[in-house]
Amino acid sequence: MKDYIRERVKEVANYIYETKATVRQTARVYGVSKSTIHKDVTERLLRIDAELADKVKKVLEFNKAERHIRGGEATRKKYKSMKEK
């Protein structure tokens, strides 16, 4: 694995763990695709730092469990703003 990829993986993993960010939010911050972020934290991170990988996995599982709530909230806001116009 190239050094710049290894550094990005560590940086992305720490960002997700510290901020509890979603894959999509992280991809936006780092300017890469969601697929790249997902591959970084699910595959590459295991080879670099298994302990950090476990911590990040818990954050991702929490985000996945709550995504239906965030989606519903976004829809509610959308229709509320449309109603106000």
Q: Give residue 59's pLDDT.
A: 96
What is the radius of gyration, based on Cα positions, of the chain?
15
pLDDT tens for the chain, residues 1 to 85 = 899 999 999 999 999 999 999 999 999 999 999 999 999 999 999 999 999 999 999 999 999 888 777 778 778 888 888 888 7
Q: Give residue 58's pLDDT.
A: 96
Q: Give residue 36's pLDDT.
A: 96
Residue 9 burial (10 A CB sphere; 0-12, 13-18, 19+):
buried
Domain with 12 in it:
3-84
Domain count, the chain: 1
Residue 37 burial (10 A CB sphere; 0-12, 13-18, 19+):
buried
At 33 the three-state DSSP class reads: coil
Q: Give residue 69's pLDDT.
A: 77
* Integer Cα distance of 75 and 45 in angstroms: 34
